[in-house]
Homo-oligomer: A and B are copies of this chain.
């Protein structure tokens, strides 16, 4: 059991493992090898073994990983062995789309409250959750033990919403606004910026394999 700091890249792969392991569990598959995981998830098996070794000695040579045991361990590591309440701020198209994903968030994590500033949205429902006015955000977050906030408001509003979430004692923020948030050191922010994803894909155009040829144009 290592106690060293785990990189964000490793932490981000754990939910991917978990999803596939849950699928195996549903199909009553008892064990899985790092090779099978690698093939299905398009990852290097050595990378997978290294990732999982951070958390303990899960695998057994020639047998692989016990699926239910690995699910239990990853859920513990990800703090999913408890109910985690999530708030969504911004009930526009993106907010509405994200609230649909509650169905995929099986693992004790749930969007339990939605907030918006627009009077014509307040009181209406998306996915059985009543949209509340942004003015009650701080009290509602505190009162419902909400620990993660998802920001889907326009970028000019994002910092103000983040400040309110911080004031309410939120621990983590998933920010969809294309802006960099300032928060205290104890609050974790992940940027879920679609434009960054999309623009970085452009790098792989013109045959990502022939980068050396492509690179030559940049040699001065």
Contacts and interface: CB of A to CB of B under 8 A. Distances in A.
Interface stretch (A45-53, A60-68, A133-141, A205-213): A205-213
A98 B194 contact: yes
Given A98-B194, A196-B12, A198-B148, A42 B204 contact: no
Given A198-B150, A199-B78, A172 B93 contact: no
A122 interface: no
A97 B99 CA distance: 13
Contacts of A180: 20, 40-42
B186 A207 contact: yes
B203 A84 contact: no
Nearest to A181: B42
Contacts of A199: 14-15, 18, 78, 80, 105, 107, 109
B178 A3 contact: no
B178 A201 contact: no
B1 A78 contact: no
Contact of A195 (B14, B104, B186, B211): B104
Nearest to A185: B209
A9 interface: yes
A198 B174 contact: yes
Nearest to A196: B15
A120 interface: no
